[in-house]
Structure 1
């Protein structure tokens, strides 16, 4: 192509803003126009409701896949009384409002947060309802002024939306994939109750409800069972806040005869590439176990430093941190980079395991005999 044919000026530049930009390039905001992007829309609306629970303003979240292809997400929070909620209106109509991280007490449900504005723009229809009001949008544009909906129907807020078939290649959500993500959220956020109901099957409605009082302890036990573990060793777990990392950690682990991979999470997002929280966990476990093995064996203790990494291989574990300012690295933002987290998690794991070994000598001896000895023999 000649240079003359490549000439352009300011008149050739197209500037897209707001809902027009989102609808023109939806993949930039939700990653895909296939089912993955569809689930991202669901995650954004569910995330708002889940965070109402985590903030103490609600107790449960109910998600329904409607027979006409819509998705309804309801919480039982305080709602907005007789007037349309200004905060919710801003999230639905202003780009960037309500998106991104906003502290350790906020769960990000999707792979990244883009806010309700994007959901609204990519839905053919969206309704928001409070106890005495209702409002409707069509492809991100307000359809009617706020309307009084009549007698109060209970507390909370309900958002229903219908993904735009002009944008998405499919508007069929996967019940199984959404159920697995909601189950994970309930494990990672103790006290959260979340249900998923599917009204689409011709043979009848199907529904699941998730609530796990012991949080990540329940998660580690479930992962071990799913991996085929049969051990009777306890699930060891603890929670700690540490101002040095500006956040909290929840850790659960079990030595297993059929261990599952160590699972790391940051603000409820899976960090599949690991990061400083997982590195700190591994170092803390290795330090605690080798110290106990040396105390137990005395002068006869083998050289454990060379096999410290293999000591951790026999574990099923969950390491969940919730941070004010998480530093997620990499193209897919699945690697935690906060340096302080490694130090804090390593120290907490080492101290907690040291205390647990001291108070559970029989199980501690089994761990050393079965897992540490095996690691040494492989060296």
Structure 2
């Protein structure tokens, strides 16, 4: 594969496909290259001039490897929706032309990014404790990347925390989600002490108490992500934990100070939940 034109990203897809066709429009030229089971069958060929830019990858899953080549519209649409949430302004459309009754299409674009993601995750949940979705995005040179966070407390006791690194899910968490928990606990306890929502003899609210009913999305985009394990399910990196914790503590702390009524409702919800344990 000619990496100067098509990049290395499609290599795995190419190796698992019976046929792949790559098209790249760049610098006024439309380039095409075709492959069969990972092996190039044609060199990169200039197919003519173009005024646009972009890449199209068409592939046919290899039934000798998968046994079936049936793709799930629902699964693909869900993943594309997730990517649109995690990359604000990205516009992704998926069209299924397999049905004899006509094609069906879904378009995913979310200007609010992670904020819209939390609203979506909360759609079937109990009424939120506070109306606003708290969100921010921050660049941190210490962890060589950016962090985007959105969160809101709801009436249930279920925690819904989604962590992502470079738009990939980290189902087992990692330093970004640990840093998020550190920052939320620090901001909530500092605010509760300052506004005397906790008595002098009451211990700090624990992280487990604080995250009850919390819906949150923590997305980091890193130049050099460090993962634990071959599946990339856990994100590592001490600088990530410190950077996310500091960012969450600062931004959430400022939001709590600027919205004292909503902040009081959050703390009251947490304290009442703790009394039930």
Higher Cα radius of gyration: 1
Kindly indicate whether the alpha-carbon contact (under 8 Å) linking 1:187 and 1:218 is maintained by their aligned counterparts in 2.
yes
The runs of 5 or more residues in structure 1 that have no matched partner are 1-18, 20-84, 92-97, 99-114
| CA positional deviation for 1:175 | 0.6
- Give the superposition deviation at 1:304: 3.4
Show CA shifts across 1:285-308 (max 9, x none).
111111211222278355232634
Hey, what does 1:139 align to over in structure 2? 37
The alignment partner of 1:207 has SS state of strand
Residues 1:217 and 2:115 are matched in the alignment: yes
Deviations 1:149-189 (A, max 9, x none): 45748543322121222222010111111111110111111
SS in 2 for 1:297: coil
2:167 aligns with: 268
Q: Does 1:125 align with 2:19?
A: yes
CA RMSD of aligned residues (A): 2.4
* Alignment pair present for 1:356 and 2:265: no
Q: Which runs of 5+ in 2 are unaligned?
A: none
Instruction: Tell whether the 8 Å contact from 1:280 to 1:342 is kept in structure 2 after alignment.
Output: yes
Name the structure with the higher strand share.
Answer: 2
Please give the secondary structure, in 2, of the residue aligned with 1:191: coil
- What is the TM-score when the length of structure 1 is the normalising length? 0.66
Q: Report the alpha carbon displacement of residue 195 of structure 1 after superposing the two structures with TM.
A: 0.8
SS of structure 1 residue aligned to 2:152: strand
Cα shift readout 1:306-346 (whole Å, capped 9, x = no counterpart) = 63421121210011111111111134321112111111111
1:87 aligns with 2:24: no
Q: Which of 144, 148, 153 in structure 2 is aligned with 1:250?
A: 148
Structure 1 residues 260, 197: closer, same or farther in 2, change over 3 A? farther
Q: Using the alignment, how far apart are the partners of 1:297 and 1:86 within structure 2?
A: 60
* 1:14 match: none
Runs of 4+ in 1 over 6 A off after TM superposition: none
Q: Distance in 2 between matches of 1:229 and 1:298?
A: 23
After superposition, where does 1:51-200 map in structure 2 within 5 Å?
87-88=4-5, 91=7, 98=8, 115-130=9-24, 132-147=30-45, 149=47, 152=50, 154-200=52-98
1:203-248 CA-partner distances (Å, limit 9, x unpaired): 2111111111111111111111133445552100011111111111
Higher helix share: 1
Tell me the TM-score normalised to structure 2 length.
Answer: 0.88
What are the within-5 Å matches in structure 2 for residues 25-64 of structure 1? none
